[in-house]
Amino acid sequence: MPAATDIDATHDPATRSWVEAANADDAEFPIQNLPFGRFQAPGERRWRIGVAIGDQVLDLRRAGLIRHGDMRRVLGLRPGARQALRRAIHDGLREGSSSRTAWREALVPMGSVTLGLPCEIGDYTDFYVGIHHASAVGRLFRPDNPLMPNYRWVPIGYHGRASTILPSGRDFHRPRGQIKSPQDAAPVLAESQRLDCELELGVVIGRPNALGRPIPIEQAEDHVFGLTLFNDWSARDIQSWEYQPLGPFLGKSFASTISPWMVTLDALAPFHRAFRRDPGEPSPLPYLDGKTHRTHGAIDIRLELRLQTAAMRAAGLPAERIGRSGFADAAYWTVAQLVSHHTVNGCALATGDLFGTGTLSGRDPDQAGSLLELSQGGTRAIRLSNGEERYFLHDGDAVSLRACCERAGFRRIGFGDCIATVLPALD
C-alpha cells in the first residue's frame, strides 16, 4: 500500500526530460508518469514494450532496459524490481542524462506507431463500485429501494468476456440481441436501440496469487501493476431483458474499449488519499479494512466522458464533454478492496487479468458516467452544443474517455486516449 515513503525522486516536479515534449505544462506523459504499453512499428506484426514520454515511445528493449518482449514478465515484477526499472527509465530520460545519445535511437514518435492492448488480457471481471451510478440506475427501476441490501457490504462484480476487449481506436458494430418491450408478449431479435457507454477505470493485475491463498488488503496493491481507462459498452435494452437472474451477458460482451497505456501504481503514489465514507455508512468487514488502507487507500483521478457525433466530426467540431467525475469520490470500494475480495474465497488471479471498476459517476446529474443516467433512462434528451440531441448512441457517434491526476506540489499526469466509434450493425 503506497505511503509517504513511496514518493521519491521520480516524482520530483522540478525534473525535466531531454525529450522536450514531456516538459510542456499540458503534457500527459511527463517524466513523472512513464506509463507502460505495447506498440508496433509500421510493417511489423510483433508487439514491442514501450513507455510513453511526451509525444514519443521509448522502446525498452532497444534501450537495453529489458532483454525480451514479454509484457507479462514486466507485469509480474515484484515491487522492488518494478520500482528499480522505473528509476532506471527515469534516470535515462532526465535532462543531462548520459543515456541521451544512446537512447535517442530507441525513441519512436507516438504518431508513427500502432498502439494496441496494453497487455494480453486473461480473465476479466467487471465490478460495480460507483455508488452514485448504482443509486441513480437503481432509482430508475426501484424508486423506493435503489440499492440492493448487499451493496454496502460486498464489492459486486461479474465475470466478463476478455476476447472482446478492444484497444483504443478500434471501432465496433452495433450489437443485436433479444429485446422485449413491456407491451410485447414475446421478445424479438433486433439491433440495440439503447446503446450506451460507461466511464470506467481498468485495473491490471501484476503478480498472481496461489490458488486458495487470499491476498490480505495491506498487500493487495503489491499485486496491481497499474490503471487504465476503460469503456464497457452496454446495450441497455438487451441487458434489461436478459440480466435476471444471473446478470449481464450479451448486453455487455460485444465490446469494451481500453486505453493503450498502463499508469503504474508507482506513478500514482502522490495521488493516494485517505479512504473515507459518508457518515452513517457501515464500516467494511475486517478483511476489507486496514490501517494503511484507511490512510492511503483511495486514489484521486479526474475523469471525463466526451461525445462527438458524425455531424460534429464533419463540421470540424471537437468532442464535447457530457460527463465528469472523480474516482476517489465516485467509488464505494477501492482498488485494494477489489483485489482482496476477489481472492478471499481462494480465487487465483493471474498476471494480466483485468478488473473494470464499473461506471464512475459523481453525485450531481452532470457528473454522470453513462447516457442511461444523463437521459434519465431515455426520458430526457441530452442536448449538444450543435443542436443535436441524444438519448442513447447513434451510429457514427464516437465516445472518448479522458483522465488525469493533479495535486499541488506534483506534476499533472494523464492516461492517454480511450476512444471508439459506433458502426452500423452487420447484416
Give yes or no: 341 in active site.
Answer: no
| pLDDT for res 28 | 98
Phi, psi of 310 (to 5 degrees): -65, -40
- What span, in angstroms and rounded, lies between the C-alpha atoms of 259 and 401? 9
Residues 264 and 152 in one domain: yes
Nearest C-alpha neighbor of 333 from the set 233, 420, 203, 237: 203
Find the CATH number of the domain harbouring 21. Answer: 2.30.30.230
Distance from chain centroid for Cα 228: 4
The residue from 133, 296, 341, 342 that is catalytic is 133
Residues 94 and 149 in one domain: no
Residues 91 and 133 in one domain: no
Residues 33 and 142 in one domain: no
Per-residue pLDDT of the chain (427 residues; tens, 9 = 90+): 554 458 999 999 999 999 999 999 999 999 999 999 999 999 999 999 999 999 999 999 999 999 999 999 999 999 999 999 999 999 999 999 999 999 999 999 999 999 999 999 999 999 999 999 999 999 988 888 899 999 999 999 999 999 999 999 999 999 999 999 989 999 999 999 999 999 999 999 999 999 999 999 999 999 999 999 999 999 999 999 999 889 899 999 999 999 999 999 999 999 999 999 999 999 999 999 999 999 999 999 999 999 999 999 999 999 999 999 999 999 999 999 999 999 999 999 999 999 999 999 999 988 999 999 999 999 999 999 999 999 999 999 999 999 999 999 999 999 999 999 999 999 8
Judge whether 202 and 129 are in contact, CB under 8 Å: no
Domain of residue 74 covers 4-115
Please spell the DSSP secondary structure of 207-269, one letter per residue. Answer: S---TT-PPPGGGGGGGEEEEEEEE--EEHHHHHHH-TTT--STTTTT-EEE-S-BEETTTTG
Q: Among 63, 92, 115, where does a domain finish?
A: 115
Find the CATH number of the domain harbouring 268. Answer: 3.90.850.10
Strands (E), 96-245: 107-109, 114-115, 124-127, 157-159, 165-167, 172-173, 176-179, 188-191, 195-196, 199-205, 224-231, 234-235
Residues 63 and 163 in one domain: no
C-alpha distance from residue 230 to each of 84, 178, 225, 233 (Å): 28, 26, 16, 9
Nearest C-alpha neighbor of 331 from the set 157, 127, 129: 129
- What span, in angstroms and rounded, lies between the C-alpha atoms of 194 and 201? 22
Residues 56 and 205 in one domain: no
Q: Regarding beta strands 418-423 and 172-173, do their DSSP bridges make them parallel or antiparallel, or are they unpaired?
A: parallel
Residues 156 and 76 in one domain: no
Phi, psi of 360 (to 5 degrees): -105, 95
Nearest C-alpha neighbor of 108 from the set 167, 72, 60: 60
Q: What is the pTM (predicted TM-score) of this model? A: 0.97
Residues 167 and 68 in one domain: no
Q: Among 67, 88, 115, where does a domain finish?
A: 115
| pLDDT for res 293 | 96
The DSSP 8-state label assigned to residue 395 in this structure reads: T
CA 400, 402, 408: angle at the middle one, nearest 5? 170
Residues 338 and 366 in one domain: yes
Counted residue by residue, the chain has a size of: 427
Q: Among 115, 137, 172, where does a domain finish?
A: 115
- What span, in angstroms and rounded, lies between the C-alpha atoms of 257 and 223? 23
